[in-house]
Amino acid sequence: MTTVTADLPASYLTKEHTIASWLLTSDHKRIALLFFASITFFFFIGGFAATLIRLHLLNPAGTLLQPDMYNRMFSMHGIVMVWFFLIPSIPTTLGNFLIPLMIGARDLAFPKINLASWYVFNISGFFVLFCLFVGGVDTGWTFYTPYSTLFANGYVIPAAVAVFINGFSSIMTGLNFVITIHRLRAPGMTWMRLPLFVWAIYAVSLVMLLATPVLAMTLALVALERWMGVGIFDPQLGGDPLLFQHMFWFYSHPAVYIMILPAMGVVSELVSCFARRPVFGYEGMAYALMSIAVISFFVWAHHMFVAGISIYAGIVFSLLTFFVAVPSAIKVFNWTATLHKGSISFDAPMLYALGFVGLFTIGGLTGLMVATLPIDIHVHDTYFVIAHFHYIMVGGTVSAFFGGLHYWWPKITGRLYPEMWARVAAIITFLGFNLTFFPQFILGYLGMPRRYYTYDPAWQVWNVLSSAGASILAAAYTLPLLYLGWSLFYGARAGANPWRATGLEWLTSSPPPQHNFPRTPVVRAAPYQYNPADGSYVAQDGSSNA
C-alpha cells in the first residue's frame, strides 16, 4: 500500500453528525446510503407483495385473497420491484458510491443533481405508496391498453404519475454518470483502463438517458387517455392498442438491460478479485457491454410475437433477439475462462458471483427458447416467461447486488461482515431461488398462465414447491439485514484493502474521507493486475504488492 492513511481527515460517515448534514449532503457516498435506505424499504414492500402471492397460490382455489386484491398485489409487486428496486438498485447505491472512487474523482460531476435525484425518487415513491394505500392498481406493471385507460378499476393515474416521476430520477442519475465518466477521470485513467464496473454503469446510463423519456411519453398518454379520453390507444376512440405495446416495450426491453448490465459489471470485479486473475478478455467484455446496450434498443417487439404484429416483424425481431444474446454469451464464457489458472477462494462475494453466472446462464438460455418464434407462441404469458425473467432479474441482478454489497461493505462501512453467515446466506439464496423459480418453468410449459389467482389443481405440487422455495428465499434475503446490521456495531475494523484488490477505491481508507482521496491518484496500470501464481497484484496506481 502506498497511501498513507494516518493523516487522513475524518471519514465521510463521521465528519458531520446532524440529520441536516445527511438530508442536504452533496457527498456521493452519503447519497448512495440514502438511496440504499430507500430501495431497501421498497425491496421489502415488493417482497411482501410477492410473499402474499406465493402464499395465495398454495391453494389452487385461491381463497386467501379476493381476486381484485390478488390482481393489485402482482401489479404492486411488479411496479415496485422494477422501478423502485431493480432499476435504481446497483446504479444508485454501488454506482453512486464507487464511480468517483474508481475513477479517482472527488465526487460526481453534479453533486446537487445527484441529491435532487434522491428527492425525486422519494417523491415518486410517495405517489406509489399513495396509490397502494388508497386502493392500489390492477393493471399489472405493464399498463396494457385499453385495459389501463378505460377498464381498470384501480388507481391507474397515481401509479402512472409515480413511474413518470421516477423516470426523472433515472435520467438525472444516468446523466450524472455519463458526464462524470467522461470528464472526471484521474490522470492516466484511460477508457481501456476503466474497471468493467465503470464500463457497465456507463453503458446503463446511456440506456437510461435514451429510453426513459419514451416511457414518460407513453405513461403521460395513458394518463391523458384515462383522464380526458384522448384517443391514442383505445380503438373505440380511434386509437391503436398495439401502439402502446410498441412504445412501452421500446423502453421496457432496454430496461431489462438497465437491470442486468450493472450486475454484469459487479460480477466482473468479483470474479477477477477472488480468482486472483485478470479478467479474461477485458476489451471483449467492455465491447460486449456496449453492444448489449446498443442492440437492446432493437429487440422490443419480441414481447409481441402473439400480439398481432406482422409475420415479418416477428421474424426480424426474433433474429435481432438472437443477436443480442451473442455478447451475453461472450460474457458468460469470459467469466468462466477467468477462473482458468486462477487461485480461487470462495468468500461470500464470490459465491454470489458464481451463483450469478449460473443463474444468468439459465435465464439467458431460456431466453433463447422464448426468442424462438414457435416456442414463444406456446410459452408466452405463461409461468415459463415468469421463470425466465426472474432468473435474469432476481437470480442475476439481486445476486450480484448482494455480492457487490458484501464485497464493498468494508469500504462503505469500515467494518468486516461475519464471513460464515454471509456464505450461508449466499448458498441458501441460490438453493431457495432455484426451488422457487425452477418449478415455474414446468408450470409454464404445462400451460399455467401468469396473473391467475386460481389454477388447475393438477398443478398444485409445482406451486407448493415454488412457494416453499420462496419462504427459503425470504429468509435468505432477511439474513444479511441482520448480520450486516450487527457488523455495523460489532464487526472487526476493515483496513483500506481487505480483499487485496487493484481498484483505486481500495487505495483510500475505509470508510473513505469526505473527498475520497487526500490527493488525486495517478493511474499507471490496467485494472485486474492479479498474479495467481504468487498471489501478488499491481494496484491501478502502479504500486506492486506481494
Partner 1 sequence: MQWVPFWPRDASVTAQSIDKIFIGELALVLVILGFVFGLMIVFGLRYRRGSRANRTGLIKKTWHWEIGWTVGSLAAFLVLFVWGANMYVWLYDPPRAGLEIYVVAKQWMWKAQHPGGQREINELHVPLGETVRLLLTSQDVIHSFFVPAFRVKHDVLPGQYETFWFKPTELGRFRLECTQYCGTEHAHMGGDIVVMPPADYARWLSRQGEHESLAQQGEALFRKYGCSGCHGANSTVHAPSLVGVYGGLVHLEGGDTVRADERYIRDSILLPRSQIVAGYAPVMPSFAGQIGEDDLVKLVAYVQSLSPIDGASQ
Q: Which positions from 230 through 259 interact with partner 1, judged by CB under 8 A?
A: 235-236, 241-242
Total of chain residues touching partner 1, rule CB under 8 A: 86
Each residue 440-479 as x (binds partner 1 by CB under 8 A) or -, in order, gives --x--xxx-xxxxxxxx-----x-----------------
Q: How many angstroms separate the Cα of 470 from the Cα of each of 54, 75, 205, 220, 464? A: 7, 18, 32, 35, 10
Distance CA 453, CA 71 (A): 8
| Cβ proximity to partner 1, 5 vs 531, nearer residue | 531
Least CB distance to partner 1 at residue 511 (A): 28
| Cβ proximity to partner 1, 351 vs 470, nearer residue | 351
| Cβ proximity to partner 1, 316 vs 424, nearer residue | 316
Pick one of 111, 188, 213, 284: the residue that binds partner 1 (CB under 8 A).
284
Of residues 376-405, those binding partner 1 (CB under 8 A): 377-378, 380-382
Task: Pick the stretch among 156-164, 331-339, 420-428, 480-488 that binds partner 1 (CB under 8 A).
Answer: 331-339
| Cβ proximity to partner 1, 186 vs 379, nearer residue | 379
Pick one of 113, 175, 179, 329: the residue that binds partner 1 (CB under 8 A).
329
Q: How far is CA 256 from the centre of its chain?
A: 9
CA triplet 207, 282, 531: central angle to 5 degrees? 140
Distance CA 263, CA 335 (A): 13
Of residues 298-317, those binding partner 1 (CB under 8 A): 306-308, 311, 314-315
Cell matching residue 314? 416477428
Of residues 140-179, those binding partner 1 (CB under 8 A): 140, 144, 146-147, 150-153
Least CB distance to partner 1 at residue 129 (A): 23
Distance CA 408, CA 29 (A): 12
Of residues 1-60, those binding partner 1 (CB under 8 A): none
Least CB distance to partner 1 at residue 477 (A): 24
| Cβ proximity to partner 1, 143 vs 483, nearer residue | 143
Gyration radius from the chain CA atoms? 23
Distance CA 170, CA 258 (A): 10
- Smallest CA-to-CA distance from 162 within 215, 225, 231 is with 215
Pick one of 375, 424, 465, 472: the residue that binds partner 1 (CB under 8 A).
375
Beta-carbon contacts of 356 under 8 Å, excluding residues fewer than 6 positions away, are 263, 267, 395, 396, 399, 400, 403
Q: Is residue 194 at the binding interface for partner 1, with CB under 8 A as the rule?
A: no
| Cβ proximity to partner 1, 209 vs 373, nearer residue | 373
Q: Is residue 64 at the binding interface for partner 1, with CB under 8 A as the rule?
A: no
Of residues 424-443, those binding partner 1 (CB under 8 A): 442
Least CB distance to partner 1 at residue 258 (A): 23
| Cβ proximity to partner 1, 314 vs 491, nearer residue | 314
Pick one of 8, 209, 290, 365: the residue that binds partner 1 (CB under 8 A).
365
Least CB distance to partner 1 at residue 85 (A): 22
Q: Which residues of 82-99 are buried (b: 16+ CB within 10 A; e: fewer)?
A: bbbbbbbbbbbbbbbbbb
Per-residue H/E/C for 402-414: HHHHHHHHHHHHC
Q: Is residue 280 at the binding interface for partner 1, with CB under 8 A as the rule?
A: yes
Least CB distance to partner 1 at residue 83 (A): 19
Of residues 342-361, those binding partner 1 (CB under 8 A): 342-346, 354, 357-358, 361
Of residues 66-85, those binding partner 1 (CB under 8 A): 67-68, 71
Is residue 16 within 8 A of residue 417, CB to CB? The reply is no
Per-residue H/E/C for 313-328: HHHHHHHHHHHHHHHH
- Smallest CA-to-CA distance from 529 within 516, 541, 517, 512 is with 541
Task: Pick the stretch among 29-37, 176-184, 192-200, 333-341 that binds partner 1 (CB under 8 A).
Answer: 333-341
Q: Which residues of 400-421 are buried (b: 16+ CB within 10 A; e: fewer)?
A: bbbbbbbbbbbbbbbbbbbeeb
- Smallest CA-to-CA distance from 386 within 53, 42, 48, 39 is with 53
How crowded is residue 112: how many other Cβ atoms within 10 Å of its Cβ? 10
Q: Is residue 498 at the binding interface for partner 1, with CB under 8 A as the rule?
A: no
Peptide bond preceding 111: is omega within 30 degrees of 0, i.e. cis? Answer: no
